[in-house]
Amino acid sequence: MKQITVYLLFSLILLAGKPARAQHNKAMEPNVLFFLVDDLGWMDVSYNGSEVYETPNMDQLAGEAMQFTNAYVTHPRCVPSRYSIMTGRYPARIRRPGPGKMQLSEFTIAEAFKQAGYATFFAGKWHLAMKGESYPQVQGFDVNIGGGDAGAPISYFYPYNEPPHHQFKEPIPHLEDGQEGEYLTDRLTDETIAYINQHLKSKSDQPFFAFLSHYAVHEPIEAKAKDVSRYQEKINAIEFDLPEMMDESNGQTKMRQDNATYAAMVHSVDNSLGKVLKALDKLKVADNTIVVVFSDNGGLSNTGTEDRLLATSNYPLRAGKGHLYEGGVRVPLIIKGVKTMDRSGLSDAVVTGADLYPTLLDMAGIRQEPQQHVDGVSFAGIMKGQAAKDLSQRPVFWHNSVARPTRTGDYYSTAVRKGPYKLIDFYEQNRVELYNLQDDMGEQNNIARKEPQIAQELKQLIVEWREEVNAYFKSKKNKSKWE
């Protein structure tokens, strides 16, 4: 927790050169807590039907807040998806070999809140730095605890940066001190609570924007022994109806949630949410704090030709992380508004990670940044009880130009959803798949030949959108070809 003061001073120095933007008229602004979980699949929460994982805190919040049943990330991998959350832009707009790393020139959601007078805090996974420049403390966050180049921890137990037994070797910064055996998810939770507590005691009239970005439940799959033991007993008592694996794309997909260690990791992030919400209540700011719970992509359930550990399943959704099928892009989203505008229930509005930037500005009464969040659309009206008619037929897009056919089994592809229909264009293979998600959420019945007109209309939307954003194509075969 002593990191907070040090990085507050450091960030003030670095941000001195950033251009100031006009603040809005402050009047009972709500606080914001953004709770982001890494690789949490749509079926990794018990309120969506998981019979193995237990998420009582998320379940309770989902029952008290607005649960979005058609919430999507803008890309099925970590970095590009996080880019959209921070910028309100599709990652396909970045003209580099693969989307995602953030330019320092981007004006982020954190900078928008900071220029509106908010105190801003970040803890956890960042993974967006561009050439060592665009770290949280120079992209709008007063405080940065643990956010750097690392896409995953070397270890979830302190000391976090040794031994180097994971594929991602970048150390997690700012967490060099700790206690032996300390668990990373708990540490980031405690840092967040400590910051909020310290801030409210020192500047109780200034609202805060706190972003808790967990490294969990991303691999390495590690959890506390007592939790693993409890879930192993639970899993041992289950008779699974489905086979463990099935063929999918260029590999296989896992069909069972049967990994006790992963279940314990999900348990830990849910416990983290409960601790933070309890702290907000104890500090008497819960009624004036917007809470967002979201994931950066679907659960890791697929492998290609490489042999790797798969810890979860997104079934009945198809496939998982890396794929443009529902298992890779549909994720949990819960939003709790402040007491004066709180609405609870279910919304089937199609919303994306890019929409969260303008939506949160709208909910907080802060002016929009339309030159920045060009692809995001505010759905704050839903939180006020308004119909989402303007969202029901707008097209949303995905572009996978960083396919990993050997690693996660996915292919180069672009997809669009409009209304109930979703078209996936496997452009390198010169084929398309069309699904009616209202009737076929598991994407088992390709109706492209049955509905050629709909398929052609959606394919044309993809063609026009890729031209509009100047989408990057890695495939030499198709780099300048649209049809």
Listing DSSP states for 179-240 in one string gives -TT-BHHHHHHHHHHHHHHHHHHH-TTS-EEEEEE--TTSSS----HHHHHHHHHHHHT---
Share of the chain above pLDDT 70, in %: 88
| Residues 6 or more apart whose Cβ sits within 8 Å of residue 429 | 411
396-469 maps to which CATH number?
3.30.1120.10
pLDDT tens figures, 397-419: 999 998 999 999 999 999 999 99
Rounded to two decimals, the pTM is 0.92
Q: Which CATH homologous superfamily contains domain 3-15+30-386? A: Alkaline Phosphatase, subunit A (3.40.720.10)
Distance CA 407, CA 251 (A): 9
Distance CA 297, CA 315 (A): 15
State the average pLDDT over residues 66-87.
96
What pLDDT does residue 112 have? 97
Distance CA 375, CA 397 (A): 10
Based on its alpha-carbon atoms, the radius of gyration of the chain, rounded to whole angstroms, reads 21
- pLDDT category, 96, cuts 50, 70, 90? low
Least confident of 7-16, 112-121, 129-138: 7-16
CB 44 within 8 A of CB 266: yes
What pLDDT does residue 386 have? 77
State the average pLDDT over residues 335-354.
87
pLDDT tens figures, 237-288: 999 999 999 999 999 999 999 999 999 999 999 999 999 999 999 999 999 9
- Unique residue bearing structure tokens 């018990």: 46
- pLDDT category, 339, cuts 50, 70, 90? confident
- pLDDT category, 8, cuts 50, 70, 90? very low
What residue spans define the domains of the chain?
A: 3-15+30-386, 396-469
Share of the chain above pLDDT 90, in %: 77
What does the DSSP 8-state code read for residue 391? Answer: H
